[in-house]
Structure 1
């Protein structure tokens, strides 16, 4: 995977976008391209709708906006390859894990002037905490369009059929813990087959998604300043031992190589984000709950995704102006159907309920509105590309029965420390 060196090599000069509507290009309106990782037809149709409104209002600036779909698993590799090869998109979605890398590289334009200068934008409505990961000094280098808390979807039909406690009742009685989720998952799997607890998109590869679990133990992949490995800390050893035992001792979590999709109906519960609710088809009864508590209590974890404008793209000023339209209060309210916005005025249960008809106001209040408060993000680092690959390789030894958890995690830190300090 290409890293910060590639991004820095692709950066432009002044690293800034001017406020105000840009002048039309001398040779006519331009075509914009934004890379995205969603292939959801409803989401893409919404993007096209918002883009069509912008084109209608600005025919002299833009003739088309293409939303280029890049597969999730290969997204960052493909994007950095495009940058290195001179095939730079005008705008791109960026994972929160790669935010420090992109922000520090100089490849992204400062979009703050364009957003602040856009009529009716209401920049002060953006939550400062949501912008923090995407900011440097006084600039903003990507807009965090998605601030989606991780939560637990549960199949209440499977749980009832297996005679297990309703997790919603456990939430009400403050007994909703990872141990309870593990016990329920193991029991349902033993009685009904299928799978128990699935950390969606983990698949024994994207290890950073396990932050949704180890947060309950107060563990973290590295220190707050990003210089010290956290995998050998007692909290992480305990959390990863718990996870390993849930897989290989209890069968509460499906093992490596097992394909299990909660939305197909044969999985008891899954940790994922609320945008996945669109996959529910009414074939079974379900509930949406906050993440369970671990030994250190309940920890909210959010996944963020930003939209950045590339300084080295062909049309950075026009792209920044389009981004101001794409993330305006009106557009953000539409996007809230799938992506919880960073706008304080829109982070209310009643607004989100209008945009998310499958979820009740109670679910939205407890999972989304409260879930964004005091939340931690998934691991992010300026050297994340190398860390991701290196740590994944070392963790492969953990995903076998009888693995020495502590020894494997020692190896993880031995490999990661030079990358953290380099």
Structure 2
């Protein structure tokens, strides 16, 4: 989508290609495939290993293993492996780095393999879900997860603070950002955390898109060529977030680590795949609701993850066959327990409910199905790793009690504007 000269990430991906191919040349009769993933969650690994066991029954000489890498440094660790000649056979790829991987030449085209797989039914895969993972009509990574962001709620903490629960606010037509922050503030005043934007941690600013999209804000224009951090919607959204942090104490401030799933916060914004972190002993009454309404109206934001096959792997043809097996109709139903599918037939509450025992049909319909249908995918751009660092550094000036937000956002645009315009 955004055509640019090669980024540092693209160079790192492509740089290790020849070395990795040479190292892979002497593969033994037994094929051991390795896939890097970001999650070390027990439930996720059990699901993936079960799918790998099923593949081994069909391919006895093939073993598939999964290598979790830290979420915070995942893409850097992956590109380092590739550049160092230790490329995995398959990789979980974040939506933010999709353009870099697709444009680098490091991924094996998947379209023909999927189309040739009996019973795969590639025709039911949503074209909207594959846009970021394709080039010139060819699919280079399968979007196995298209997951809306939503708000998990600890109703016990909200009620204890004497505030209205999000469900009550929704029923009253008052589920808006000001009311959500008021609820979070009430809980925070009692000594617990208010609203946690999970994975943000004042570093991964792209996760704030789950908030600022409510103002119609974006980091850059739709064509990716112009910085829009200094535009009115973003300045107003950042002002609202800043007040929620420093004036109302409704959002944990810099350096404060609060875990909703440990029962320490009123609400958290994250994707439904994190439902696996909910306490199994049901120590608190929880709910899942859509994102609050912003000044620009109702909205949804979606995160994606793709599975790509690295050309530098040991056996790219067998790795592509595994991706086809992992994402076939039967296994897509299993994956949908945590990772909403790109398959149209699985995007309804009835089907999702069969593998999502934790979530009610109403939650699945209002949060997952509706969110996928209407949501925008998290921001991404070619050379995203570089842009991410530049913006993160510029936002440090915003995360101060007496920040000059308009000046800080103008400075960000001065930094990233030339890169966007290339």
User: Shorter-chain TM-score: what band?
Assistant: over 0.9
- Equivalence for 1:125: 124
Q: CA deviation at 1:151?
A: 0.2
**Aligned residues of 1:2 and 1:81 also touching (Cα < 8 A):** no
**Aligned residues of 1:247 and 1:253 also touching (Cα < 8 A):** yes
Q: CA deviation at 1:421?
A: 2.0
- Spell out the pairing of 1:20-419 with structure 2 (5 A cutoff): 27-60=28-61, 62=62, 64-190=63-189, 192-281=190-279, 282-419=282-419
- Equivalence for 1:8: 14
Corresponding residue SS for 1:7 = helix
Corresponding residue SS for 1:87 = coil
| In 1: Cα distance, 2:96 partner to 2:384 partner | 7
| In 1: Cα distance, 2:142 partner to 2:74 partner | 18
**Aligned residues of 2:146 and 2:305 also touching (Cα < 8 A):** yes
Q: CA deviation at 1:28?
A: 2.1
Q: CA deviation at 1:29?
A: 3.2
| In 2: Cα distance, 1:10 partner to 1:316 partner | 16
Is the deviation greater in 162-171 or in 230-239? Answer: 162-171
| In 2: Cα distance, 1:26 partner to 1:412 partner | 48
**Aligned residues of 2:27 and 2:314 also touching (Cα < 8 A):** no
Q: Deviation per CA, 1:85-116, whole angstroms, max 9, x where unpaired?
A: 11111100000000011111111111111111
Q: CA deviation at 1:351?
A: 1.5
Corresponding residue SS for 1:241 = helix
**Aligned residues of 1:92 and 1:308 also touching (Cα < 8 A):** yes
| In 1: Cα distance, 2:27 partner to 2:13 partner | 29
- Equivalence for 1:15: none
Is the deviation greater in 157-166 or in 130-139? Answer: 157-166
Q: CA deviation at 1:3?
A: 1.2
Tell me the TM-score normalized by structure 2. 0.94
Q: CA deviation at 1:11?
A: 5.0
- Equivalence for 2:21: none
CA RMSD of aligned residues (A): 1.4
**Aligned residues of 1:222 and 1:230 also touching (Cα < 8 A):** yes
Q: CA deviation at 1:55?
A: 1.0
| In 1: Cα distance, 2:255 partner to 2:365 partner | 36
**Aligned residues of 1:115 and 1:123 also touching (Cα < 8 A):** yes
Q: Deviation per CA, 1:9-67, whole angstroms, max 9, x where unpaired?
A: 3457xxxxxxxxxxxx995231101000100112111111111111111124x1x1110
Corresponding residue SS for 1:294 = coil
| In 2: Cα distance, 1:365 partner to 1:163 partner | 29
| In 2: Cα distance, 1:59 partner to 1:402 partner | 63
**Aligned residues of 1:216 and 1:299 also touching (Cα < 8 A):** yes
Q: CA deviation at 1:416?
A: 0.9
Using a 3 Å threshold, how does the CA distance of structure 1 residues 27 and 162 change in structure 2: closer, same or farther? Answer: closer
User: Which sections of structure 1, spanning at least 5 residues, go unmatched?
Assistant: 13-24
Q: CA deviation at 1:174?
A: 2.6
| In 2: Cα distance, 1:381 partner to 1:2 partner | 13
- Report the number of matched residues: 407
- Equivalence for 1:21: none
Using a 3 Å threshold, how does the CA distance of structure 1 residues 28 and 268 change in structure 2: closer, same or farther? Answer: same
**Aligned residues of 1:386 and 1:419 also touching (Cα < 8 A):** no
